[in-house]
Structure formats: C-alpha cells, structure tokens
Structure 1
Amino acid sequence: MDIPKFLKSFKYATHGILHVIKSEQNFRFHLLAAIIVLLASIITGLSSFEWIIIIILISGMFMIELVNASIERVVDLASPDFHQLALQAKDLAAGACLVYAICSAIVGFIIFIPKWWGIIF
C-alpha cells in the first residue's frame, strides 16, 4: 500500500467537500438542517438506535448531494450546449436528492413526533 498516495486521497476528498459547501446552495441547506436535527436529537435524548438512524440519514443526504453535484459537473462538461438528455440526467439526479430528503424527513418525524408529543401535550 502506498501510504502517501492513500493520505493524498483524503486531501482530494476534503477539497471536494469544501467545494460543494462553497458552491452548492442545497448542500448548505442540508448542512444547516443537519445541525438543527443534531441539536434536536441532543435535546430530545434519542436512544442509541435512533442516533444510528439519524446519522445514517444525515450522511446519506450529504453523499447523495455530493453525487448530484458530481453528475451536474460531468454533464456540463460533456454537454456544454443544451441537450434534452443532459437536462434529464441533471433532473434525475436532483430527483434522487428530493426523494431521499422526503424519506429522511418522514423517518425523522416518525422518530421525533412521539417524543415531542409527550413533551408538548
């Protein structure tokens, strides 16, 4: 194993993450949402299993946003002029993000609402 090459891969990955934070509004929105959810999780006192679910959902959202941004860049590079298939590829990737975000919100509601229901009422 080439250790310096392996360590460089972390540098490249970090550059990618920093780039998406700087350039993608949706990623920043999900980052803010993740902070809010993590704070709510701390305040609510989730079980270990619920924490695992929340961490998987948050990290999954970040991953799919990174993949979406990657697809957008590759499509823009491969098809700088308007093309219907390029538009569809970008819309499909964005749709995957939306589906995951909706599913994550539903799971979050399933976890949080019963806990908050007892506090509120």
Structure 2
Amino acid sequence: MKRLIRSFGFAFKGLQYATASQLNFRIHLVASIVVIGLGFALQISVDEWQWIMLSITLVLVTELLNTAIETLTDLVSPTYNIKAGHVKDVSAGAVVVAAAFAFITGLIIFIPKLLLLLPHAA
C-alpha cells in the first residue's frame, strides 16, 4: 500500500513539474477550464461532455508525453543533434494533432449552441 501511495506522489510531482516548467501545458490547462465553464454555461449534453473530456485528456496527456520526451532527449543528447531535434519535433507534432482534434471537436459542439444565442436578423 505504501508503494502505491508513493507512486501517486511521483505522478503528482510530474504534474507539478509540467505545470511549473511548461508554458504550453499551463495554456492547455487554462483553455480546459474555459471550455469546462463554457460547457456548464451552455448546458451541453452528456455525450458532448464525453467528447470534451476526451479532447481535454488527449491534449494534456500528449503534452505530458511531449515534456517527458523532450526532457529525456535533452538528457541523452545535451548538444545539438539533428536526430534529437527530429524526436522533439515529432513529439511536438503529436500535441498539435491532439490540439487540432480538440479544437475541431469544440467547434462542432459549441458553434451551434452559440449561434442559437445570437438574435435572429429580421
């Protein structure tokens, strides 16, 4: 049991490190909070909440993996190496793909609801 509790401690330490050291992770956290607030304000359905939560999770997980890969790459290749650069670029690309998925998902869910709030032209 002690080992399990310690493993959670390490996990939270990793989240703390990513939050403290990675601007993009903090931006994604703020965007997540805004989207969750918008979801409550627009009373999205349970199915829509599942897509929103999947999108948020996907972006945050890929951002965490990107941070881990970049940190490990810097450790094993402290000087410039073109292949190390490719590794970092590909892991950053994974974040872009996840963020694009999340953005498009948000547009699909929120645009129709926001359009309903606009006054109709006469």
Match of 1:119 in 2: 117
Using the alignment, how far apart are the partners of 1:68 and 1:98 within structure 2? 11
Match of 2:14 in 1: 16
Note the C-alpha offset of 1:91. Answer: 0.5
Match of 2:42 in 1: 44
Amino acid aligned to 1:48:
V
RMSD: 0.7
Q: TM-score, normalised by structure 2?
A: 0.95
Q: Which runs of 5+ in 2 are unaligned?
A: none
Kept in 1: contact 2:55–2:101 (CA 8 A): no
Using the alignment, how far apart are the partners of 2:7 and 2:113 within structure 1? 41
Q: TM-score, normalised by structure 1?
A: 0.96
Aligned residue pair count: 119
Note the C-alpha offset of 1:81. Answer: 0.8
Using the alignment, how far apart are the partners of 1:120 and 1:101 within structure 2? 27
Equivalence map 1:40-119=2 (5 Å)? 40-119=38-117
Note the C-alpha offset of 1:112. Answer: 0.6
Runs of 4+ aligned structure 1 residues displaced above 6 Å come to none
